[in-house]
Amino acid sequence: MTAVDSPEDTALASVPTAWEQFPFPFVADQYRYSTNVEPARRPVATPVGRWGTPLVAVDEHYRTELDERAAILAADPSRHAVLPHMRPAAWDACLTLLGELAAAVPHLASLTPVGARGEGRWHWRNDLTGDDLTFTYGDDASLPDEPLRWVCGQVQEDVVLLDQREQLYGDAGVVTFAADWSFGFDVGMSFLEIHGPVPRIHEEGVITRAHDFLMRLQPHAPYRRTNWTLTVGRRLDVATERYHEWGPDRELVQRVDDETFGRLVHLRVEVQHLVRLPDSGAVMFLIRTHLQPLEAIARVEPWRSRAAEVLAELPEDMADYKGIIKYRDRAAAWLRAAGEQ
């Protein structure tokens, strides 16, 4: 331990790295949208490590990402919303996420009931944040912040909570790392409206099948899926609100030299978990964003060749929607050339 290491930094050294946990998303040389859901918690072995066992993943970026989330929320309150009827769901999400974090890093966090059964009092300890507190389930005054926003200061995941009426509605959430969409714009929309801008999935029935599936989701049987795009720079917050800051990078990156290109362009993968919350009946949607530069992807031969094929073959409308149309050809060529060196 060096003089500048805090106890929290030392604790982080005990978790697998982001690279070891990277969820490479492509299972074939061609990518199309599908209702690609599978039961959660199943480990996936990769050439460099494994991912998939916990619902919430902790890596060495934990503290920097949570600091970044706090700064974004302070600057832009629209990244957080809990419509009044979602308060029980926010508490349900809070307790569920604390339990999942304690299960993911049991040597670093614990959630323990306090007092007699039915009192709803809990003790929470998190060595990664230095938190050590006791709260009462359902009592907002017993936490330092609104429960959903507070718990999003404990996990790296973004969270959307969907209320189930005749359809699912995205009525609460904390989303600070959106990939080219706006939580503030989408809050209160139905699941089908949220997906309105996405090409192909409506005609192909992907999104109505996904909706039917989610309406039947059962407690204690979480599912997951992955989604992906490319991002210029290791930039988590590419929300619509800040397009003026990151949008121009899509132009600029076309003019950099090859070495810089491989360092700047990142494969961005979201592991999305779908969880029926046990008390409120709401659906909790977790979005965990992983970023690795092409230069790292190129070091793993099966990943390099597969990502090159997928990017070269991706249909124009999908590349356009993903916002990568201007540089995906170069990304594919860059990955192919990396295999010839």
Q: Which residues are catalytic?
A: 225
**Closer of 124 and 223 to ligand HEM (Cβ):** 223
Query: What does the DSSP assignment read for 121-154?
Result: EEEEEETTTTEEEEEETT-GGGSSS-HHHHHTTT
**Closer of 15 and 274 to ligand HEM (Cβ):** 274
The answer to whether 325 contacts ligand HEM (rule: CB under 6 A) is no
Nearest 5°: phi and psi at 302? -65, -30
**Closer of 83 and 201 to ligand HEM (Cβ):** 201
What pairing do the DSSP bridges indicate for beta strands 131-136 and 121-126?
antiparallel
The answer to whether 250 contacts ligand HEM (rule: CB under 6 A) is no
| Side chain identity at residue 251, one-letter code | E
Query: Quick one: which segment of 83-91, 121-129, 189-197, 308-316 binds ligand HEM (CB under 6 A)?
Result: 189-197
The answer to whether 217 contacts ligand HEM (rule: CB under 6 A) is no
Residue in 103, 143, 201, 312 binding ligand HEM, rule: CB under 6 A: 201
- 232 neighbors 250 (Cβ within 8 angstroms): yes
The answer to whether 84 contacts ligand HEM (rule: CB under 6 A) is no
- Shortest distance, position 226 Cβ to ligand HEM, whole Å: 10
State which of positions 135-164 bind ligand HEM (CB under 6 A): 160, 162
Residue in 197, 203, 244, 259 binding ligand HEM, rule: CB under 6 A: 197
Buried-state track 138-177, b at ≥16 Cβ within 10 A, e below 16: eeeeebeebbbbbbbbbbbbbbbbbbbeeebbbbbbbbbb
Strand, coil or helix: 69: helix
**Closer of 148 and 210 to ligand HEM (Cβ):** 210
The beta-strand segments (E) located in the chain are 38-39, 44-46, 49-51, 80-82, 109-114, 121-126, 131-136, 158-164, 168-174, 223-232, 265-276, 283-293
The answer to whether 246 contacts ligand HEM (rule: CB under 6 A) is no
Of residues 277, 275, 233, the one with CA closest to residue 256: 233
The answer to whether 106 contacts ligand HEM (rule: CB under 6 A) is no
Query: Quick one: which segment of 74-82, 123-131, 142-150, 225-233 binds ligand HEM (CB under 6 A)?
Result: 225-233
Report the alpha-carbon distance of residue 224 to residue 296 in Å, rounded: 25
Residue in 23, 25, 52, 170 binding ligand HEM, rule: CB under 6 A: 170
Residue in 8, 16, 19, 37 binding ligand HEM, rule: CB under 6 A: 37
- Shortest distance, position 143 Cβ to ligand HEM, whole Å: 24
Report the alpha-carbon distance of residue 315 to residue 328 in Å, rounded: 11
Residues that bind ligand HEM (CB under 6 A): 33, 35, 37, 160, 162, 170, 180-181, 186, 194-195, 197-198, 201, 206, 210, 213, 225, 227, 229, 285, 321-322
